[in-house]
Structures are given as structure tokens and as C-alpha cells.
Amino acid sequence: VQVNPGVFLGLNPCTLNGVSYPVCTTAANLDRRRVLILENPAVGQFFGPVDRHDDVGEQSYAGLKLSVQRRAASGVSLSANYTVSRCEADTGSSFSFAQFSSGYTDPNNPSFDRGNCTQSRTQIANVSVGAETPQFSNAVARAVASGWRASGIFSTRSGSWLTVTTTTDVAATGIANQRVNQVLEDPYTADKTLNAYLNRAAFALPASGTLGDHKNGSIQGPGFWNVDLAITRLLPITGQQTLELRIETFNLFNHFNWGNPVTNFNAATFGRVLSQEGDPRIMQFGIKYGF
């Protein structure tokens, strides 16, 4: 918690600690507007940002997990799980050390930062399937079709929770990651394209000396899905000696999962998706000799 933030003193001329300013609140005179120097100039002039690390953060989580499992029968096994959850916190995610000029946006009101946890996913689902061909009695069928194994994993999850912030110290407190005002109910563009996922017109900078009303963690980024597949063939050689041939494919369909859009309102690329989550298709081949 920042206990020595700057104080917004308006935009008219003023005198601070014997120095006259044509505009009373500027980035340049932040240290002369901090709480401690205003309360006691003789002592407060020696302090800049002062952080207090405390256990005031709160986080709540509620979730439901469903799972289905079918053990191997007739060469086929299945396992699936689905989780739906809700996580809220007044910290968004853990603050880093050292965190000067960071922490709660409003040091006197931690609940002002309450919103969806940035690391949470509302919905997560995974399905894994395995299949193995039987040992055929017919010599030709056994040589061609026995020893094959296939396993696949399908995973999907909803997008992460995001917050639109500004690099401008609008509130003049010296605390970073201030939020903007949300002026439209729907923050997304109609089509949610790579070049325009968020609607810039849905947001605006707050008035000088105020904090934005955009709720922390109230925007959801793009979802994610992926399929991995592995196919192996176990070939007996002689006695206990075997040869295993393996092909593994990650992101089988080479699906392009969008990364999160730019949420810095000051950036020219605001609202655009400039990254990919996960890897493109990767294939690897292997041979294993067993004895």
C-alpha cells in the first residue's frame, strides 16, 4: 500500500514549500505534493514514495468440477473434466517487489480495485482419449494392424480477465496502473478482429485528479483451444526385444490461438491482438529400442 501518494491540488497557481508554481499540480512537483510533506514539510521533504506491505488483500474463489472416466475396455479409454469457477480479489494479481508507485490504486480504499482475478479462467475443459488395436490371431492382420496406439488430448478454456489502464498519472498520485473511465457498456468491437478486438470509443481518460470507474478485471480476452495427438506402433523383434515407432503432434490443427489485446489506453496499438498464445503445430518423431 502506498502511504505517501501525491495529492491533487487543482490546476491554479500555488506556492508549495516556498516555491511558486503557475499550475499547482504537475508531474514535476509530485514530491512536493505528497501527503507527508503537506502534513509536515520539515520532515516530509525527505520522503518520496513509501510502501507498506500488509496482509490486507482479499480473494474469494468458488468453483464446480465435473469429471468422467472410462477405464480401458475393448482397447479404448476416456477421461474428461470440466470446471466452472468464479474468482474475485481486490489485488487483481500478486504485486511484485519492490513495488514503489504500485499497489492499490486508492490506498484508502482497497475494495476500489476489487474485480475478477487476472489469473483465473471461468471455464476450463479437458478431454483425453486413448485407443489400442488388439493382437490379431491372423498373421497378416497381426503384422499390419496389431500394436498400434493412439492418444489425443483436447483442451479449451475461456479467456483471461483484463483491465484497461493508462500510463498517464491522471489522478496525480504517482501510483501506476490507473484505470480509465468506461463510457460504453460493451467494450468490444462488433467483430472482435485481430486489429480491433477492443473498442477505443468505449473508454476515456478520467478528469484530472480523479480515478477511472472502469472495473478491475472486467474485460475477457480471447478463448483458447488445442488438440494434441500421439500415434505409436510397437513392433516385436525377438524374445523381449521390441521397437517402438512414435509420432507426436502438438497443436494438431495448427490452430492460431489469439493472445490478449493491448490494454494500454495510451498505446497506438490499443485493442489490437499482437501475439499468439501457445505454439504453432509442432511434430516430433522417435524410435525406441526395448530389450
Asked whether the beta carbons of 109 and 59 are under 8 A apart, the reply is: no
**Which grid cell is 263?**
490494454
Residue 53 lies in a domain: no
| The pLDDT value given to residue 92 | 52
Residue 7 lies in a domain: no
Point out the least confidently predicted range of 95-104, 206-215, 281-290: 95-104
Q: What is the mean pLDDT of residues 202-225?
A: 97
Which amino acid would we find at residue 86? R
Q: What is the mean pLDDT of residues 12-18?
A: 93
Across the chain, what does the average pLDDT equal?
92
Residue 216 lies in a domain: yes
| The pLDDT value given to residue 41 | 94
Q: 225-263: per-residue pLDDT in tens?
A: 999 999 999 888 888 898 999 999 999 999 999 999 999
Per-residue pLDDT for 50 more than 50? yes
Q: 121-148: per-residue pLDDT in tens?
A: 999 999 999 999 988 888 888 888 888 9
Point out the least confidently predicted range of 98-107, 108-117, 242-251: 98-107
| The total number of structural domains that make up the chain | 1
Query: What are the distances in angstroms from CA 123 to CA 84, 102, 120, 158, 162?
Result: 5, 30, 9, 5, 16
Q: What is the mean pLDDT of residues 269-276?
A: 97
Asked whether the beta carbons of 45 and 214 are under 8 A apart, the reply is: no
Residue 17 lies in a domain: no
Residue 36 lies in a domain: no
Asked whether the beta carbons of 128 and 70 are under 8 A apart, the reply is: no
Q: What is the mean pLDDT of residues 28-51?
A: 93
The range of the structural domain enclosing residue 84 comes to 59-92+114-290
Residue 274 lies in a domain: yes
